[in-house]
Amino acid sequence: MEGEFGSAIMLLVVGMVTVFSILFLVVIFGKLLISIVNKYSPTPVIQPVSKSSQSSDFIPKGKMAAIVAAVDILSEGKARITKMEKL
């Protein structure tokens, strides 16, 4: 019985070490890929929204300011609202 229990524990340990090492490699290569893409990819050009494209169903400035502030706070300054439409 001890031989079977010992081999089961060894199989468990080897499996867990394999899984954690593969997950570690995935995280490291993922971070490396993200840093390479962020370094060499061109930044997108954001075109300003013209006032002529706004429809008659415009969003009041107070609501627009609140939405922009909420997006800025939640995304920690990384997201920008470029277009907003009323559905």
Q: Where are the domains of the chain?
A: 1-41, 47-87
Residue 51 pLDDT: 56
> What confidence tens digit (pLDDT) does each residue in 5-40 have?
999 999 999 999 999 999 999 999 999 999 999 888
Distance in angstroms (rounded) separating the CA atoms of residues 71 and 66: 9
Distance in angstroms (rounded) separating the CA atoms of residues 46 and 57: 24
Tokens of 4: 């079977």
> What confidence tens digit (pLDDT) does each residue in 64-84 have?
888 888 888 988 888 888 877
Alpha-carbon distances, residue 17 vs 49, 77, 80 (angstroms): 53, 39, 42
Do 57 and 86 touch, CB atoms closer than 8 A? yes
Up-side HSE of residue 64: CA atoms within 13 Å toward CB? 12
Under the banding of pLDDT at 50, 70 and 90, the label for residue 50 is low
Return the higher-pLDDT residue of 28 and 61.
28
